[in-house]
Amino acid sequence: MAITLTAAAVDRVRQYMATTPSALGLRFGVRKSGCSGFAYVVDIATSAGDDDVVFEQDGVSVRVDAGSLPEVDGTVIDFVRTGLNQQFVFRNPQVEAECGCGESFTTSSRG
């Protein structure tokens, strides 16, 4: 089981953490949403959850709740800048299908 960050994502998370004094790391998971089933949840973690699984990379902690882990296991999180746009991009090997608008997805663990 692993969640990994690209160098660009590590840099961006560090920038976010620098502006949040109580930051413990990145919170990453899913919530039920949209027509396909799940949407990603990404935020700065300011508290530890009882069921958090913690991945450490280059001094950055990624916290994933145990319920989300089957849906995101193996995901590589990148941070991409294209023109004026910038966003986190998720390469998730668990994704089997995405809705037409790209806002939600289904995974092999819940197929």
How distant, in Å, are the alpha carbons of 42, 67, 103, 111 from that of 20?
Answer: 15, 26, 27, 37
pLDDT tens-place string over residues 76-104:
999 999 999 999 999 988 887 776 665 67
Domains and CATH numbers, the chain: 4-110 (2.60.300.12)
8-47 burial: b if 16+ Cβ within 10 Å, else e: bbbebbeeebeeeeebbbbbbbbeeebebbbebeeebbee
Residues whose CB is less than 8 angstroms from the CB of residue 23 and which lie 6 or more positions away in sequence, other chains included: 16, 17, 44, 45, 46
Q: What is the pLDDT of residue 100?
A: 63
Q: What is the pLDDT of residue 35?
A: 67
What is the C-alpha separation between 32 and 47, in angstroms, rounded? Answer: 22
Q: What is the pLDDT of residue 38?
A: 86
Residues of the chain with pLDDT under 50: 111
Q: What is the pLDDT of residue 73?
A: 93
Entry pTM:
0.86
